[in-house]
């Protein structure tokens, strides 16, 4: 080694000071920069001249401003010769600089009086950021493991348990301390443990083992049903162990069983609804249908009065049945929107026409108001809108002894191709007590008590309205009248607005064409009735005769097919449920027999009134659908529809 005497110490110090990668600064006792080497300038981004304009404290992070106070005091008092600390400073460009700082004190050689500090800065920003990222990753992993709802167990390639989270304790009954160092067979059984260790180096076999591990053994001896996932522990590109992630399936199993039970219940409910609909409507068809026919015969005044009472009672009973079935269908999710073109003003007029006779009996005044902004033609569910309007108008008439009823329609908003309308039905009736308004839309609720009530009904009307309005993306509510007695029921509904070229004039032309066809009915139709119930046969036959036509009767689907072979019928009223051969099978055979040539207009006749039946029967090849009890108007409409298609 060469003797240092040959080197100039001053030059050596200058070289080290200038070229050192470590920042070296001379700092006065009042924290001002006295001198800095190039490394300090590089670390903090300032020039040597710029350092004269601020102190060390000016660029220190505020959270670190007080962490050296005690150390500096001890250094000045000679308690410690130097100290090291990690501090954050702000770079000239605003970024954060992490530094490892070594601080020492230069004293006077004679008196030992403090002169200035020497601070050495090492930039550790990159290392610190990597450390923080690693720490964040560890904390995320720890949180994931700690707060995970699944049990997470780590074990080595030898099958020895390394650790586990809190859920392991909850699932197994063992404390983590008890499990660490024990074998996996304690929890998953000896066979599964052996298979697991054999499969650790083959991921294909691991998937099989995952499926085989279906339980975790509890400390008290019972088994917990689980769904298992295996994940490798990889350190420096080498697999050091595995995690078992076990999800407790006990609650999920219960939910699956409950779901299956609920689905079976819903299916049974739907089947019961279909059966009850059929069983109730079939005899009702005979009662109401025969009263219609009977009223067309020559009766004296007393007989007419009795028949009208029978008809009214039958209609009331049918209305109650319809309410119960409608509500049950909606509750079981069987009701869906059927979108078709409709004219709000025409729907309003048609609905008013249906209730007008009851209003006239009470001498009630009915007024309507439709905002000019309401489009003539929109797309929506005609049946459901009419049902809501019918229910609210019927209630208004029922609970208004005298006075007036008004119906108004306003447009609330229009966005793109959707319009939102508000309907209001206001009456001057008996009103509703404030304490009972909150229950109005509850099922089976009636304002007047069943022991003293004056009106008929199931208490389902408003509940059904609420469900139907919600299906139409709307709301329904009640408002009491401030200036007079009575009530106001309001509801909103959304409708799709057709493209600009589908204006109301097209709809009006369609209605005019419909009216022309209605007035051009020919009287030479050949009609076949396929029905096994004798009462229903008679009802249908008499109704058709009242409309001026003749009909042939057969008792089942097989006879209907044979009849079509012998004679070309125009319309077939085909009952769905018949002995020997049902209506659907008969329809298919008729289609195959005629192969599209002179095919009759086949009408599905059923006592079922469940949502989706119409679409199902049309998909099976039938042309129309009517449900029992059948009215003369329904038969007339079918014949008119056939004439339109023929025209």
Mean pLDDT value across the chain = 81
pLDDT, tens digit, 9 for 90 and up, residues 93-130: 999 999 999 999 999 888 888 999 999 999 999 888 88
Which range of 29-43, 265-279, 355-369 scores highest in mean pLDDT? It is 29-43
**DSSP readout, 379-425?**
EE-HHHHHHHHHHHHHHHHHT-SSSEEEEEEEEEEEETTEEEEEEEE
Q: Above 80 in pLDDT, residue 160?
A: yes
Q: Above 60 in pLDDT, residue 520?
A: no
Q: Above 50 in pLDDT, residue 518?
A: no
Q: Which CATH number fits domain 9-124: 3.40.50.720, 3.30.365.10, 3.30.450.20, 3.40.50.1360?
A: 3.30.450.20
| CATH number for the segment(s) 526-642 | 3.40.50.2300
| CATH number for the segment(s) 132-251 | 3.30.450.20
Q: Which of 477-491, 501-515, 621-635 has the lowest average pLDDT? A: 501-515
Separation CA 447–CA 455 (nearest Å) = 10
Per-residue pLDDT averaged across 436-463, rounded?
A: 55
Instruction: Give, for 242, the enclosing helix (H) or strand (E).
Output: strand 238-248
Q: Provide the pLDDT for residue 294.
A: 84
Separation CA 448–CA 455 (nearest Å) = 8
pLDDT-above-90 percentage for the chain: 20
pLDDT, tens digit, 9 for 90 and up, residues 421-441: 999 999 888 887 777 766 677
Outline which parts of the chain fall under CATH 3.30.565.10: 340-496
Separation CA 537–CA 460 (nearest Å) = 33
Q: Provide the pLDDT for residue 439.
A: 67
- pLDDT bucket at 82, cuts 50 / 70 / 90: very high
Per-residue pLDDT averaged across 47-57, rounded?
A: 89
pLDDT, tens digit, 9 for 90 and up, residues 341-350: 888 988 888 7
The crossing angle, in degrees rounded to 10, of helices 190-199 and 203-212 is 160
Better-scored residue on pLDDT, 36 or 336: 36
- pLDDT bucket at 452, cuts 50 / 70 / 90: very low
Length reported for the chain: 647
- pLDDT bucket at 415, cuts 50 / 70 / 90: confident
Per-residue pLDDT averaged across 148-166, rounded?
A: 85
The distance of Cα 40 from the centroid of its chain, to the nearest Å, equals 62
Separation CA 9–CA 394 (nearest Å) = 113
| CATH number for the segment(s) 340-496 | 3.30.565.10
Q: Provide the pLDDT for residue 408.
A: 93
Separation CA 620–CA 612 (nearest Å) = 12
Q: Provide the pLDDT for residue 103.
A: 93
Outline which parts of the chain fall under CATH 3.40.50.2300: 526-642
Q: Provide the pLDDT for residue 510.
A: 41
Q: Provide the pLDDT for residue 105.
A: 92
Q: Provide the pLDDT for residue 394.
A: 87
- pLDDT bucket at 460, cuts 50 / 70 / 90: low
Outline which parts of the chain fall under CATH 3.30.450.20: 9-124, 132-251
Better-scored residue on pLDDT, 413 or 6: 413
Beta strands in 12-160 (DSSP E): 23-28, 33-36, 82-90, 96-107, 114-123, 151-156
Per-residue pLDDT averaged across 190-194, rounded?
A: 87
Q: Provide the pLDDT for residue 143.
A: 58
∠ at Cα 506 (503, 512), nearest 5°?
145
Outline which parts of the chain fall under CATH 1.10.287.130: 265-332
Q: Provide the pLDDT for residue 1.
A: 45
Is the peptide bond between 629 and the residue preceding it cis, with omega within 30 degrees of 0?
yes
Residue carrying structure tokens 């601080």: 103
Q: Provide CB contacts within 8 A for 425, sequence distance 6+.
A: 389, 392, 393, 396, 405, 406, 407, 488, 489, 490
- pLDDT bucket at 521, cuts 50 / 70 / 90: very low
pLDDT, tens digit, 9 for 90 and up, residues 573-586: 999 888 888 899 99
Q: Provide the pLDDT for residue 438.
A: 67
- pLDDT bucket at 328, cuts 50 / 70 / 90: low
Q: What is the DSSP letter of 180?
A: T
pLDDT, tens digit, 9 for 90 and up, residues 216-263: 889 888 888 888 888 888 777 788 888 888 888 887 778 888 888 877
Contact assessment for residue 216 and residue 171, using Cβ atoms and an 8 Å cutoff: yes
Residue carrying structure tokens 């059984």: 189
Q: Which residue from 120, 130, 193 is spatially nearest to 156, judged by alpha carbons? A: 193
Q: Which residue from 314, 316, 145, 315 is spatially nearest to 233, judged by alpha carbons? A: 145
Q: Provide the pLDDT for residue 494.
A: 93
Q: Which residue from 475, 491, 463 is spatially nearest to 324, judged by alpha carbons? A: 463
**DSSP readout, 324-361?**
HHHHHHHHTT------EEEEHHHHHHHHHHHHHHHHHH
pTM assigned to the model: 0.38
CATH 3.40.50.620 fits 265-332, yes or no: no
In the three-class reduction of DSSP (H, G, I as helix; E, B as strand; rest coil), residue 31 is classed as coil
């Amino acid at each position: 080694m060469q003797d240092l005497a040959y080197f100039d110490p001053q030059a050596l110090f200058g070289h080290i000071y200038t070229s050192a990668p470590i920042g070296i600064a001379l700092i006065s006792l009042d924290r001002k920069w006295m001198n800095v080497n190039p490394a300090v300038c590089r670390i903090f981004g300032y020039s040597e001249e710029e350092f004269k304009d601020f102190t060390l404290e000016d660029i220190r992070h505020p959270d670190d401003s007080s962490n050296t106070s005690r150390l500096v005091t001890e250094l000045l008092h000679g308690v410690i010769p130097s100290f090291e600390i990690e501090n954050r400073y702000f770079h000239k460009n605003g970024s954060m600089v992490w530094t490892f700082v070594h601080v020492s004190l230069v004293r006077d050689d004679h008196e030992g009086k403090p002169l200035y500090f020497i601070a050495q800065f090492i930039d550790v920003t990159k290392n610190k950021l990597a450390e923080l990222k690693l720490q964040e990753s560890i904390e995320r992993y720890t949180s994931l493991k700690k707060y995970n709802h699944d049990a997470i167990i780590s074990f080595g390639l030898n099958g020895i348990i390394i650790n586990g989270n809190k859920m392991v304790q909850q699932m197994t009954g063992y404390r983590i301390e008890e499990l660490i160092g024990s074998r996996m067979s304690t929890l998953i059984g000896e066979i599964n443990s052996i298979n697991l260790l054999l499969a650790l180096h083959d991921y294909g076999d691991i998937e099989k083992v995952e499926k085989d591990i279906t339980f975790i053994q509890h400390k008290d001896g019972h088994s917990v049903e689980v769904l298992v996932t295996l994940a490798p522990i990889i350190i420096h590109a080498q697999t050091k162990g595995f995690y078992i992630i076990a999800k407790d399936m006990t609650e999920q199993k219960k939910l699956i069983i409950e779901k299956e039970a609920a689905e079976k219940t819903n299916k049974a409910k739907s089947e019961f609804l279909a059966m009850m609909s059929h069983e109730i409507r079939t005899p009702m068809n005979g009662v109401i249908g025969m009263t219609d026919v009977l009223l067309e015969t020559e009766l004296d005044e007393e007989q007419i009065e009795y028949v009208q009472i029978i008809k009214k009672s039958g209609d009331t009973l049918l209305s109650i049945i319809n309410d119960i079935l409608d509500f049950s269908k909606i509750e079981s999710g069987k009701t869906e929107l059927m979108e078709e073109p409709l004219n709000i003003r025409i729907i309003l007029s048609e609905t008013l026409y249906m209730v007008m006779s009851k209003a006239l009996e009470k001498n009630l005044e009915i007024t309507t108001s439709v905002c000019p902004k309401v489009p003539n033609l929109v797309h929506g569910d005609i049946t459901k809108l009419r049902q809501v309007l019918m229910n609210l108008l019927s209630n208004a008439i029922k609970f208004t002894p005298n006075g007036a009823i008004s119906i108004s329609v306003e447009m609330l908003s229009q966005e793109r191709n959707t319009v939102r309308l508000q309907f209001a039905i206001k009456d001057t009736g008996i009103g509703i007590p404030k304490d009972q308004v909150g229950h109005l839309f509850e099922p089976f609720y009636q304002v007047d008590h069943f022991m003293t009530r004056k009106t008929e009904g199931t208490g389902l009307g408003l509940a059904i309205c609420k469900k139907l309005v919600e299906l139409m993306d709307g709301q329904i509510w009640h408002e009491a009248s401030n200036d007079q007695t009575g009530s106001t029921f309001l509801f909103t509904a959304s409708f799709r607005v057709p493209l600009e070229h589908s204006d109301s004039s097209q709809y009006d032309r369609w209605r005019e064409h419909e009216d022309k066809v209605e007035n051009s009915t020919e009287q030479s139709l050949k009609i076949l009735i396929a029905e096994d119930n004798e009462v229903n046969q008679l009802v249908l036959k008499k109704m058709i005769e009242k409309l001026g036509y003749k009909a042939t009767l057969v008792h089942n689907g097989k006879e209907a097919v044979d009849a079509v072979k012998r004679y070309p019928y125009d319309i077939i009223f085909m009952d769905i449920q018949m002995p020997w051969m049902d209506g659907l099978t008969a329809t298919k055979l008729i289609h195959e027999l005629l192969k599209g040539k002179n095919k009759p207009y086949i009408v599905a006749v059923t006592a079922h009134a469940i949502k989706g039946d119409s679409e199902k029967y049309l998909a099976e090849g039938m042309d129309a659908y009517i449900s029992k009890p059948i009215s003369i108007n329904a038969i007339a409409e079918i014949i008119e529809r056939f004439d339109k298609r023929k025209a």
